[in-house]
Structure 1
Amino acid sequence: MRAFGMVVLLSVACSSAVLAKPGPQLPEELVLSGDNIIDVTINGEALRLEVRPEAADAPTLNPEAAVRLGLKPGMLAFRSMVGSERVNGNSAIHKVDYGAGEKNQRIFWADRASSSLADGTISPASLPYKRIKFLLGNPSPTEKNYQLALDNFGFLGRLGVGTTIDLEGEKLRFQFSLQRNETLASAPTGNWLAQKRDGKFTGEPKQTLIYYGITRPTRAMTLSKPVPLGPAQLTNVDVRYSDYGDASGIAAEGGDGADSDEIVVVGKKDKKVDLRIVAGRRFLQGCSALVYDMQQRMITLRCEAR
């Protein structure tokens, strides 16, 4: 994805929940652990999907699964950019059964795999449950609940769900990832963190897996002014420094006397950018559960106070 975005070529609704035939009633809460994989059927074919908190709203299948199901493109196509790598995809409405009878739902698939563990990925927002609970560790008698407002990101929620905080006069969007340890930000977000939260590069360049099996160069940044989020203060983030909004070149500005770890922002202020951070497992250490309540529009973190 370009930074964390997606360009939709045709705009139609991502999914519809028209019930085709009745089935058993599902529990109100789905509890997940381990690899967070669920069993579903699409057009009568059994599949396994990886539930990801940061996934795009509509189920996204690996190309092999789409071929196995014989899926044909419908009216909506999409294109994602992961750095300079282009990912092309298609979609169509098909019959999906999560265990309570079939319903019509829009399914996406791309020319690269969205999951290395299952036949594809799915967001908590796409599932027919009131609450989705991810078990992260053993509960503690002294842990507390930390609640964050749940937001849908992108047109019709196409970019998934997370939470938004107001900081320094801007909207900073957060999502959580259980597939990575590090916390990840785009180059424009890294520039903003350097300006507003006194962020400095404190790590050497490295390659980090982003999405669709594509890696991009990142550098660790330390914030002198932490960002408050739920139970903790965010002090460290990996910045994708060579995507659009190049932070590596900015870091070199200032001449021989400049601190090489300091990002110095120069030039006029650009138009507003999508400020988004994906917080990984390391940020969630000390938390026993991550709960998405789709009806109450709330994300709950059950964690030790830090």
Structure 2
Amino acid sequence: MIRTRSASAWILALAALTGAATPARERVVDGDGIVDATIAGVRGRIRIEPSGTAMPLVTTAWAERATLKPGMLAFSYAVGTERVHGRTGVAPIDLGTGPFKRRIGWTANPYTPAADGVIGPGGVPEDVVRFILRTPVAGERTVALPTTDQGGLAGGWGELYALIDLGGQPLRIRFDPYHARTLATASAAARIAAAQGGVLQGVVEKVEIAFGIERPVRTMTLARPLTVGPLQFATLGVRTADHGSTAGIADAADPIDPDEIVVTAKSKKPGRDRLSIGADLLARCSRIVFDKPARQIRLTCA
């Protein structure tokens, strides 16, 4: 008996035989990353940024204009020893390509004064998010790094990190072109110093991290440069009082002022050891591509 197939069935069969696949949906983010958006149909401006959280973080003012109803799940965002508390609710959000439902967080003080909110690549509906930082130049290299999320109960709400190997253990890397300096938390800095021969030097500076909150930072130089994908560098900032202790790092002006150090017990909590690559290094790069299906971040730099 001869059976017939519809045209669509033949197309599907041919795709299976040839290995064809539906192209991944892609979003290109350039300029300042700020786009017009709506939440529950109410307009605002949101910045799509590589270091942003999957859960959109917007101002209370926008949430109130959109008459968002807070649910049972609240949240807090830790900036060193300080915390910003917020509420959450589920609502449709449209970043210019159509509405989709997402849990949204809001806080009284804005994450950034540049926009009404921020969102990271993990929160946009597209499979691939391509951040255009500048025009490509000759001699660039592209390196793919594996990704991970924050982990824990809020893993799906948080940031997407690249991973590198440091001393046989993974180190989480985030990319933040909207802050000038490359910064490591104290626990990450201690690991980097041990692996690469780090020395603290200079005075303490206050550096804004998020929500307008400033944290103490010193400079660390490395005897052996650290490599992150195509980037190699020997100088970075250290958040001396955040998530761990820098007491074990050699100091160019020994002894360390004890007022700079917060000594804490060793912690196995995920996300404490973190290096944030800032604009000082990202100036060498033209592209950051988050490929969520491939679980990769591809970094293109000179």
Structure 1, 118-127 or 138-147: larger mean CA deviation: 138-147
Equivalent in 51, 54, 58 of residue 55 of structure 2: 58
> d(CA) in 2 for partners of 1:127 and 1:49?
12
Q: Which residue of 1 aligns with 2:16?
A: none
Equivalent in 99, 104, 110 of residue 113 of structure 1: 110
> d(CA) in 2 for partners of 1:226 and 1:183?
14
Q: Do 1:134 and 1:289's aligned partners in 2 also have CA atoms closer than 8 Å?
A: yes
Question: Pairwise mapping of residues 27-46 of structure 1 onto structure 2 (< 5 A)?
Answer: 28-46=25-43
Q: Do 2:146 and 2:163's aligned partners in 1 also have CA atoms closer than 8 Å?
A: yes
> d(CA) in 1 for partners of 2:121 and 2:250?
41
Per-residue deviation at 1:130?
A: 2.1
Q: Which residue of 1 aligns with 2:127?
A: 130
> d(CA) in 2 for partners of 1:59 and 1:40?
11
Per-residue deviation at 1:96?
A: 1.6
> d(CA) in 1 for partners of 2:172 and 2:243?
18
Per-residue deviation at 1:250?
A: 5.5
Partner SS state of residue 280, structure 2: coil
Question: Pairwise mapping of residues 202-213 of structure 1 onto structure 2 (< 5 A)?
Answer: 202-213=201-212
Q: Which residue of 1 aligns with 2:277?
A: 279
Whether 1:270 aligns to 2:274 is no
Q: Which residue of 2 aligns with 1:73?
A: 70
C-alpha offsets along residues 181-208 of structure 1, whole Å, 9 cap, x if unaligned? 2111111222222333221112321010
> d(CA) in 2 for partners of 1:142 and 1:300?
16
Q: Do 1:201 and 1:262's aligned partners in 2 also have CA atoms closer than 8 Å?
A: no
Per-residue deviation at 1:261?
A: 7.5
Q: Do 1:74 and 1:90's aligned partners in 2 also have CA atoms closer than 8 Å?
A: yes
Change beyond 3 A, Cα 1:81–1:141: closer
Structure-1-length-normalised TM-score: 0.80
Question: Pairwise mapping of residues 14-29 of structure 1 onto structure 2 (< 5 A)?
Answer: 28-29=25-26
Structure-2-length-normalised TM-score: 0.81
Q: Do 2:198 and 2:249's aligned partners in 1 also have CA atoms closer than 8 Å?
A: no
Q: Do 2:244 and 2:264's aligned partners in 1 also have CA atoms closer than 8 Å?
A: no
> d(CA) in 2 for partners of 1:101 and 1:121?
18
Q: Do 2:36 and 2:43's aligned partners in 1 also have CA atoms closer than 8 Å?
A: yes
Equivalent in 284, 292, 295 of residue 294 of structure 1: 292
Change beyond 3 A, Cα 1:69–1:147: same
Q: Do 1:200 and 1:223's aligned partners in 2 also have CA atoms closer than 8 Å?
A: yes
Structure 1, 99-108 or 183-192: larger mean CA deviation: 99-108
Per-residue deviation at 1:215?
A: 0.5
Change beyond 3 A, Cα 1:224–1:39: same
Structure 1: gaps (5+ residues): 1-26
> d(CA) in 2 for partners of 1:252 and 1:167?
19
Change beyond 3 A, Cα 1:93–1:167: same
C-alpha offsets along residues 111-139 of structure 1, whole Å, 9 cap, x if unaligned? 32112111100011111112211111121
Q: How many residues align?
A: 273
Q: Do 2:198 and 2:250's aligned partners in 1 also have CA atoms closer than 8 Å?
A: no
C-alpha offsets along residues 149-168 of structure 1, whole Å, 9 cap, x if unaligned? 22222333332102112221
Q: Which residue of 2 aligns with 1:154?
A: 151
> d(CA) in 2 for partners of 1:97 and 1:271?
39
Per-residue deviation at 1:252?
A: 8.8
Residue type of the alignment partner of 1:58: M
Q: Which residue of 1 aligns with 2:198?
A: 199
Q: Do 2:58 and 2:105's aligned partners in 1 also have CA atoms closer than 8 Å?
A: yes
Per-residue deviation at 1:180?
A: 1.1
Residue type of the alignment partner of 1:54: S
Structure 2: gaps (5+ residues): 1-23
> d(CA) in 1 for partners of 2:181 and 2:126?
29
Per-residue deviation at 1:59?
A: 0.5
Larger Rg: 2
> d(CA) in 2 for partners of 1:103 and 1:86?
29
Q: Do 2:201 and 2:253's aligned partners in 1 also have CA atoms closer than 8 Å?
A: no
Residue type of the alignment partner of 1:283: L
Partner SS state of residue 202, structure 1: strand
